[in-house]
Amino acid sequence: MHASYDDISLAYKIVHGELTVKKHAEEFTYLNLLGDVQGKAVLDLACGEGRFSRTIKQQGARQVVGVDISAGMIELAQQAENQQPLGTTYIHGDVAALGTIGSFDLISAAFLFNYAASREALLALSRTAYNNLKPGGKLVASVNATPLFAPLNNQATRKYGYLVHSPSPLREGDAVDYAFFTGSHAIRLRNYHWSTATYEWAFREAGFTTCNWQAPTVSQQGMDEHGSDFWHDFLREPNFICLECS
Ligand SMILES: C[S@@+](CC[C@H](N)C(=O)[O-])C[C@H]1O[C@@H](n2cnc3c(N)ncnc32)[C@H](O)[C@@H]1O
């Protein structure tokens, strides 16, 4: 039921490119949190097909390296780089086993940590983030299946192009299943739920000393185009949350 990213790479790219909630809430919140990347060396963990890697490079980063475990996703990222060379480099591999490949100003990890199926896996991913960061640098991440999100198991999110299925009550490490869809394509993903306390434990164990959580916000353009009523359910129970660690 839940295909690997190699099977859904193209559909993922299409679906995410078309979803209103991705553009006006997720990308908007995430890019704001990444802040000014001008002149920075950035490691984009779980880069997927490279949408944030490309944007970060286009916004003036000195160096961007993207890493993803899916060969299909890396192939799409590399194709985009070949078509429009930006100087972004991509590595196919598991973040947990990456080791230290550099000393980066900024680590980006959009929807990586929610793939950890155990606390040990979460810690291994966090260690890689910490070990590749310069002293004084920061980690910016977003996570699905989050502490903020109430397990809806209902149709309220259909208007945003996704449905969530999860156990209720939701416990540490439970699988949370997503279906994302547009008119033409659909994908299914499985993520894992961890509390803020567990995330903060993993980040602290890895070496980070601060961790700030940031609830999603919606761009003015998104509000203007769809109206505040449209965003009400999403903002009340968002399906993701961002965080910043240093
Ligand atoms: C929801 S996608 C997000 C992609 C991209 N960050 C974005 O926001 O568009 C999650 C990505 O995490 C990757 N991934 C999951 N576990 C990973 C791991 N242990 N190491 C590297 N990549 C991983 C998947 O292959 C997939 O491309």
The predicted-structure confidence for 147-197, as pLDDT tens digits, reads as follows 777 655 668 888 999 988 888 888 999 999 999 988 788 899 999 999 999
**Is 154 part of any domain?**
no
The predicted-structure confidence for 88-117, as pLDDT tens digits, reads as follows 999 999 999 999 999 999 999 999 999 999
**Is 186 part of any domain?**
no
C-alpha angle with apex 189: 217 to 1, nearest 5 degrees?
155
* Atom 1, ligand 1: residue with shortest CA distance: 111
**Is 65 part of any domain?**
yes
What ligand 1 atom has the least distance to the C-alpha of 4? 25
Expressed as residue numbers, the domain containing 17 is 5-147+194-245
**Is 160 part of any domain?**
no
Domain CATH for 116: 3.40.50.150
**Is 176 part of any domain?**
no
Q: From ligand 1's centre to the CA of 45, what distance in Å?
A: 7
